[in-house]
Amino acid sequence: MAKKATSKRTKIKACPERSRRVNKAEAAETVKRILPILKKAYPGAGTALGFANAFELLIATILSAQCTDVRVNTVTKEVFKKYKSAKDWAKADIKQIESDIRTTGFYHNKAVSIKGACTEITERFSGKVPDTMQELTALPGVGRKTANVVLGNAFGKPAIACDTHVIRLSRRLGLSENKDAVKLEFDLVEIVPKKSWTLFSHLLIFHGRNICYARKPDCENCRISKYCPAANNPDLW
């Protein structure tokens, strides 16, 4: 009896990711080809976090760790009325902050990070969020991903924020072999045009949420599948 054909989606799900050498020239060419396609597919690509300024985006991004943007927006809608400045967060009781952000999960660590970052912002930066990678990542609880989100979306500075979607899609597309977010960021800045750094992150996130799922990527409806090594030869990844 003939074996039942296996779909691309099933193959990718079953196949463990394997590391392979990435040719940066080829990776840059892939970016050049998929960028306009993804722009057309997701004309509204951008952060889903609600914010009015850099400070609010910093807080929202810290809260977004292991939490949906929808939940974060629900929480920040209320807490931003209560805590209007870095000083407000810095002087607040840690237990009260925990209570106010509890539904975002990991509320103790997030409360410590927020209070610590806001204390630093108040004491060292006169209550204003700094706009450099070095200064942002010196704040408690702020890593490169959070800093890049703030730099790219609040300050308009080109920045690649590598979340799980960006990591997954970059590997499947053959843009990098790295799973580490920092190493991946450094790989992507070499092959993505600088003016498109921030947008590129958003486009991969949107595509990851809508088509290139972690467990069952919808290759049949993917507009960039012909440029994807994982879709065309799953055994590579």
For CA atoms 235, 231, 211, 191, the dihedral sign is positive
Give 194-215 pLDDT, tens digit per residue.
999 999 999 999 999 999 999 9
Is residue 106 within 8 A of residue 71, CB to CB? The reply is: no
For residue 17, pLDDT beyond 80: no
The radius of gyration computed from the CA coordinates of the chain, to the nearest angstrom, equals: 20
pLDDT of residue 21: 79
| Eight-class DSSP state of 161 | -
pLDDT of residue 236: 54
Q: How far apart are CA 172 and CA 166, in angstroms?
A: 10
pLDDT of residue 104: 98
Active site residues: 145, 163
Q: Mean per-residue pLDDT for 114-133?
A: 98
* pLDDT level of residue 20 (50, 70, 90 thresholds): low
In 7-68, where does DSSP find H-type helix? 8-14, 24-41, 54-63
For residue 2, pLDDT beyond 60: no
Is residue 234 within 8 A of residue 77, CB to CB? The reply is: no
137, two tokens: 């990542």
For residue 37, pLDDT beyond 70: yes
- The domains located in the chain, with CATH, are 20-46+159-236 (1.10.1670.10), 54-153 (1.10.340.30)
pLDDT of residue 3: 43
Q: Return phi, psi of residue 57, to 5°.
A: -65, -40
Longest Cα–Cα distance in the chain: 75
- In the block, which residue shows the tokens 């919808």? 218
Give 166-179 pLDDT, tens digit per residue.
999 999 999 999 99
Q: How far apart are CA 102 and CA 56, in angstroms?
A: 18
Q: Mean per-residue pLDDT for 31-44?
A: 98
Question: Which of 113, 46, 51, 48 is CA-nearest to residue 77?
Answer: 51
pLDDT of residue 25: 97
pLDDT of residue 116: 98
Give 63-105 pLDDT, tens digit per residue.
999 999 999 999 999 999 999 999 999 999 999 999 999 999 9
For residue 15, pLDDT beyond 50: no
Averaged pLDDT score across all residues of the chain: 91
